[in-house]
Structure 1
Amino acid sequence: MNRLKIMIILILAGVLLAGCVSKPSEVQPTGQTITTVQPAKTSLTVTLNGAGATFPYPLLSKWSSEYNKINPNVQINYQSVGSGAGIQQITAKTVGFGATDAPLTEKEFSNVSGILQIPETIGAVVVAYNLPGIQKGVKLSGDVVADIFLGKIKKWNDPRITSPNPDIQFPDKDIIVAHRSDGSGTTFVFTDYLSAVSPDWTSNVGKGKSVNWPVGLGGKGNEGVSGLLSQNPYSIGYVELAFAKLQNIPYAYIKNKAGKFIEPTLETTASAAAGAVPNLPAGDASWSSVSIVDAPGDNSYPIGSFTYLLVYKDQADNTNGKALAEFLWWAVHDGQKYSSELLYVPLPDEVVSINEKTIRLINYNGQPLI
């Protein structure tokens, strides 16, 4: 009997010792120790509701699916309604997170107490067109694009279009302009670019998530503009690169600040973002001045942007808040591996580091949730 008692005691001691062994931190080749956050396996079903930009929708949809595989009890419901609506809904606290391609303006930022801005990825806006028989690669300068959307250039065979494209036979057809009809971060990025390259655009239209378009047909979301382009031969519009690729809509090579006509790709968009990275603000500060349009560099594509997730620092519910913080941590780390296949630029390490500090600010009753 005594021998049996001794054996039981030894077994229990072994179990207790095993339970005290902690998983070592992950050490990177650089020697930097990275804290690994494993999503909590909860028996409760948690739904994270978000709304906003159509620009990152393909990536957010992928994240939702992949994250649910590793944490089946967390459902992510994202409504692709446009950046303007996303900002309105997170401001009203009707969703747990918002998404926008345009950073909050100074006024928006000052009106929302405790909001955090988290760059989730980097993408390009393309000038897409439907020219029967002509594929991608039409070369356009920024001032020409501005004048098309101002209604000053009306025909596809206008000399300002044909001159840099001597090998293309353009038709004598009216240009049909397509633009967004809703409040849109994609519109902000596009009009930010036009304002940077065209004084006429700046003085007559300006930049914003919604502007008074001089000409054209309006469509809701990147999906709506893509639809208008597909349905209307001889049309031109602006959409996110992934939407153009998915719909097989040709797009232009745009003249950059260095005078080069640049194709929108992951590499050329990353090149444009590289110059802005060292000067980015903290996640709880204003990002209103952050822009990567018309960036310097021979290989920089001139119409791109960070796109952002918006969350509150102070969470009203511990369970939902923790689930949200863990999802965000996963998105800016493991989630980045899904970016390239969907034609988004993975976040540079410096931006991930900023995001880590930002996500650690998320708390419930003063207690950090990461």
Structure 2
Amino acid sequence: MVNRNHLKLLPIFILLATIGQALTVPGNHVSNPSVFSQAPLGTPYPTHVTLNGAGASFPAPIINFWAGNYSAGHTNTSIVYKSVGSGAGQLAAAQHVGDFFASDAPLSTAQRPLYPNILHIPETIGSIALAYNLPGITQHLNLTGALIAQIYLGQVSKWNDPAIQSINPGVTLPNQNITTVHRSDSSGTTFIFTSYLASQSTTWATTCPVGTPWPTACAGGVPPLCSPLPCAITGNGNAGVATAIQTHTYSFGYVELNYAITNGMTYGQVRNADNTAWVIPTETTTANAVKNYTSTHALPSGTADWSSVSMLNQAGLQTYPIASFTYLLVYRELNVLPSMNINETAQRNALVSFLNWVVTTGQQYSSLPTLNYVPLPASVVAVDQASINSITYTIVSKPVHRTFNLSVSNTAGWSTTALTVYSGDTVTLLLSSVDGLAHQWYLDFNNNGVFDSNENNTCTSCVTLRASTLFSSSTAVNFTFVPLIMNPNSIPSLGNWTFRDSQNAASSGNFQIFPQQIAIPFVPPANSLTSSLIPVMDTSRITTQGSLIVDMRTQVFGGNVSEITVNSASGSLTSQKTDKISGLHFTLSSGQLQSLFIFTAATQPNATSSNITVKLNGLTGTATYTVSRTLDMANQGAVNIVDLATVAFHYGTTLGQPNYSPTSDVNADGKIDILDLALVAFYFNDPAFS
């Protein structure tokens, strides 16, 4: 029997349901124009592509060298690389910000679900040097892996400690405290270094986590304070660590070899894995590591798991034990990146060309004295090229045929002064003369009011018409062309272009061209499933990931959406699913295009849902989500009146009361109240995927 007190609440939830419906009532299809700037004078065909990358500082010197060298020979392409650390590079990849990403640390098995269809492309090989600042000492000190771990654990804290002095006979070491230096940022160099320490020290392996962040708590604590400086200081990036070592006497830290050499630093020689020799990091001793590894191990494919690939502690008399690949992370399907959709296939082609150049021609520069990296062996290049050549950019939007009627006279100008099309459309202009005089339609790319040779049909290299023939009749003349953005023989780029009459420059209008599609990626707050930034519901930490592709012609969208849950206490993966959704529409809400849907996961003890809000503003969009217990309680594929009624039936109860239901307590706060009703009402009539 229904509780009468609950019946009193029916007006409340009916009102909320009405509000929910109002939020999602289909509105009129509206165009969502973006503001573009006119092409500057003197640049009629600016078909220039800029590729943006970010990530590891370990390979930054050689990536920046490659960028400049490649652009010098490919003047239509610029490459901008930001050295922000591997952790920041991985996060940028997860958030789909940029075109390519760099990390010294391969993605872990646990991280991989956050990066669907991503490629690992080893682009170079380097080693980590142990550098120090000891006045008067310029030789390569002997160091063992166990000793290095003891120094960073604070167990060896003096430079003249017997553990150091005994393996460096003939060197007078100072009675000074050791100031250790480590990275302050999330770093692939730290990942390689701590992985090495874990292989050399049982204490480190059992108590200090290996990863891109520096471990802040280990058995044995952190090095103690010493006067006048703390015995542990930090630096941002390899450059920051190098600077910290150079500016602090008696300091000791880890940097990529190139930074040690180019900064004139003193660094140690490390005992090899065979325990038979002290080995200085050089191009040759680092190359021995990759040679020995690749001769005994088959490399994974680009889309496979690279987390077990390690060149640490490779055998050989003259093999340096702290060597590693560093990786470019690139999505195999590039239409998931917003930056790619602006220039369509031109951006993809530029990236593929650059990457192929990097792993082939670019390798010859690796061992320059200013770089000090190791060229990739042929076997690694083959794996890389297979990955690079598998990269695609898929256009899901279908071109249409658009027809416009335009008449013109010298006194009144064009009858229509604004044309909007999408790249790849077939455009037909029905052109007629009102005053019986001759006229000609053309696109004035540099907006100089002059019918330039590369704007008319005498352009011998142009495969697409840009100008009509002369017409003077009131009977319409048919002029058909296909505008393609980033095509030097068509339209230089998306945006606003001026069309004119070649016989009367004052007769002009605006020709606006949009891209065919854009990507709206989910933006995870962190690149780790176990991060405290990931939303938690009950015992599950829930991450929703994917990239939605919006057909700009129809403003219908879809894509692959993944939901990954881990146990919030143990961090173990509890569920993972990916669905391909399609046919979702935007509606106009509060002046903005918006779409809502939910994604349900069969978590325990209660099913949960990611409640997703997608917004579109011009050529940019956002996909955000909150988590709750599932809003599709009836499992009917949509949030509907049954779900509202279910919450209403249990309304007013709290945890422990007979009529309390955890299913209806969608925000899991222990009470079923107006907040639960409002959340269900907000997503009322919206689709649910389970």
TM range (shorter): 0.7 to 0.9
Distance 1:196 1:49 in 2: 36
Aligned-residue offset at 1:211 = 2.9
Instruction: Output one character per residue of 1:188-239: Cα deviation in whole Å (capped at 9) or x when no partner.
Output: 0100100111111111213110132423111110011011101100000000
Aligned to 1:206: 209
Distance 1:319 1:91 in 2: 23
Aligned to 2:261: 245
Matches within 5 A, 1:131-210: 131-210=134-213
Instruction: Output one character per residue of 1:130-150: Cα deviation in whole Å (capped at 9) or x when no partner.
Output: 001111410011100000000
CA 1:364–1:295 in 2, change beyond 3 Å: closer, same or farther? same
Query: TM-score, normalized by length of structure 1?
Result: 0.86
Aligned to 1:6: none
Distance 1:109 1:269 in 2: 28
Tell me which amino acid in the other structure corresponds to 1:362: I
Tell me which amino acid in the other structure corresponds to 1:295: Q
Residue 48 of structure 1, aligned match among 37, 47, 51: 51
Aligned-residue offset at 1:353 = 0.5
Distance 1:46 1:352 in 2: 25
1:362 aligns with 2:387: no
Aligned to 2:281: 264
**Length, aligned pairs only:** 326
Residue 378 of structure 2, aligned match among 341, 346, 349: 349
Distance 1:326 1:285 in 2: 23
Aligned to 1:90: 93
Distance 2:334 2:143 in 1: 47
SS at match of 1:160: helix
Aligned to 1:315: 334
Mark the runs of 5 or more structure 2 residues left unpaired by the alignment: 1-44, 217-221, 224-231, 336-343, 397-690
CA 1:136–1:242 in 2, change beyond 3 Å: closer, same or farther? farther
Residue 367 of structure 2, aligned match among 320, 331, 340: 340
CA 1:281–1:175 in 2, change beyond 3 Å: closer, same or farther? same
Distance 1:110 1:273 in 2: 28
Aligned-residue offset at 1:344 = 0.3
Residue 291 of structure 2, aligned match among 256, 274, 289: 274
Q: Is the 8 A contact 1:205 1:211 kept in 2?
A: no
1:294 aligns with 2:313: yes
Tell me which amino acid in the other structure corresponds to 2:356: W
Residue 305 of structure 1, aligned match among 316, 320, 324: 324
Distance 2:298 2:196 in 1: 20
Segment of structure 1 superposing worse, 290-299 or 117-126: 290-299
Aligned-residue offset at 1:366 = 8.2
Tell me which amino acid in the other structure corresponds to 1:300: T
Aligned to 2:304: 285
Aligned to 2:246: 230
Distance 2:61 2:385 in 1: 23
Q: Is the 8 A contact 1:86 1:98 kept in 2?
A: yes
Aligned to 2:77: 74
Aligned to 2:356: 329
Q: Is the 8 A contact 2:182 2:214 kept in 1?
A: no
SS at match of 1:210: coil
Segment of structure 1 superposing worse, 116-125 or 265-274: 265-274
Tell me which amino acid in the other structure corresponds to 2:314: A
Distance 2:365 2:354 in 1: 15
SS at match of 2:111: helix
Q: Is the 8 A contact 1:118 1:283 kept in 2?
A: yes
Tell me which amino acid in the other structure corresponds to 1:228: A
SS at match of 1:279: coil
SS at match of 2:75: coil
Aligned to 1:61: 64
Aligned Cα root-mean-square deviation (Å): 1.3
Distance 1:136 1:170 in 2: 12
Tell me which amino acid in the other structure corresponds to 1:306: F
Query: TM-score, normalized by length of structure 2?
Result: 0.47
Instruction: Output one character per residue of 1:258-294: Cα deviation in whole Å (capped at 9) or x when no partner.
Output: 1111000011111111222242111111100011111
Distance 2:205 2:261 in 1: 30
Segment of structure 1 superposing worse, 270-279 or 185-194: 270-279
Distance 1:223 1:157 in 2: 28
Aligned-residue offset at 1:110 = 2.1
SS at match of 1:68: helix
Distance 1:172 1:140 in 2: 18
SS at match of 1:62: helix
Q: Is the 8 A contact 2:302 2:384 kept in 1?
A: yes
Distance 2:376 2:150 in 1: 33
1:101 aligns with 2:120: no
Distance 2:139 2:284 in 1: 18
Tell me which amino acid in the other structure corresponds to 2:248: N
Distance 2:249 2:99 in 1: 41
Structure with larger RCO (C-alpha < 8 A, sep 6+): 1
Distance 1:61 1:203 in 2: 38
Aligned-residue offset at 1:43 = 5.5
Instruction: Output one character per residue of 1:175-195: Cα deviation in whole Å (capped at 9) or x when no partner.
Output: 000000110000001001001
Mark the runs of 5 or more structure 1 residues left unpaired by the alignment: 1-41
Bigger helix share: 1
Aligned-residue offset at 1:296 = 1.3
Distance 2:349 2:302 in 1: 18
